[in-house]
Structure 1
């Protein structure tokens, strides 16, 4: 399966999870220590436009509000997040998204393939966070999880060095792939 197909699979699962988050679950804790469901949704809505624009090699103006200032009571946040996710699948579904260099929220250019892999991993890991917090048990395509796991084996330390991941949580080698993935990002499966 190509990377372009992998992002589509990741987004399909993310959409299913988002559609099943209830308004009474916004205060629930997530496996990501810094976020409850509301804060995680704010994070996804805040960074979504930048992650999608990176695929198109477009600059996104810095948001006027801080990440924590996204208002989940204004409008339909689920529809907005679903639209961002569908746009992510379309943007990163183009082969050109994975070539050359691009950036996310800063002028620093990085290989588009590296950014795309980060976007793919973030989509799955934050979907897992949201699913765990809201009592959902999504299923991912094995090839998608194998790709993300292989990528994280090589890049998780960089993520920890950047403060994006916590310390690795030991997970048995025979644990499900999603558990090994989230363990690499500092989450306890």
Structure 2
């Protein structure tokens, strides 16, 4: 939804702050994403970021000779590369136009709003994943929590079918909106390494 465009910049800022706190010694730390340690999650972000940027610009997706697992994108300049990528994504998806109409992603057409959802999810949920893995504090604005919760409910069934979200986790009665959003994506809000 184009109204979510205004939430991209604050979500990106919190995400970038988490990135700056990650040290190389934490690359092997487990994350709430069972398939990823910190290094693999950073690689995931670096791999898919250009695809999301192209989707937001309604441009041709990048060509890739390797899959995500083989890409090996976490080099000495990973932080600079990921900060610049985050800034570009925030610039693109911070405009309502990026959320409107149709776009291409992963070889198929989809509503452009889905690409926007993915960017907001990457910043917020993967930001939380990295924060939990490294012991950092993660702050979510109430309006961002409301948005990612609404997104998780809207696309949850499809995302679980595509293995993007895990099975829903039941959260405690009285859980915050963000904790409910985490549960809807298959994350345990109380996860510890």
Q: Please report the TM-score for the alignment, with normalisation by the length of structure 2.
A: 0.92
Question: Moved runs in structure 1, 4+ residues, more than 4 A?
Answer: none
| Residues 128-183 of structure 1 deviation map (CA, whole Å, 9 limit, x = unaligned) | 10110010111111101101101211211110011111110101242122221111
| Partner of residue 48, structure 2 | 47
Consecutive unaligned residues in structure 1, runs of 5 or more: none
| Residues 37-67 of structure 1 deviation map (CA, whole Å, 9 limit, x = unaligned) | 0110010000011111111001123312221
User: What is the root-mean-square deviation of aligned Cα atoms in Å?
Assistant: 1.6
Whole-angstrom distance in 1 between the partners of 2:101 and 2:46: 26
Q: Please report the TM-score for the alignment, with normalisation by the length of structure 1.
A: 0.93
1:160–1:44: structure 2 CA closer, same or farther, 3 Å change rule?
same
Consecutive unaligned residues in structure 2, runs of 5 or more: none
Deviation at 1:20, TM superposition (A): 0.3
* Equivalent pair of 1:173/1:180 in contact (CA under 8 Å): no
When the two structures are aligned, how many residues end up with a matched partner?
A: 188
**Greater Cα shift, 126-135 or 62-71:** 62-71
Deviation at 1:69, TM superposition (A): 2.9
| Partner of residue 98, structure 1 | 99
| Partner of residue 132, structure 2 | 132
Deviation at 1:72, TM superposition (A): 5.0
| Residues 61-112 of structure 1 deviation map (CA, whole Å, 9 limit, x = unaligned) | 3312221233356331011011111111001012210111012221x11111
| Residues 6-42 of structure 1 deviation map (CA, whole Å, 9 limit, x = unaligned) | 0111101100000000110000000000000011001
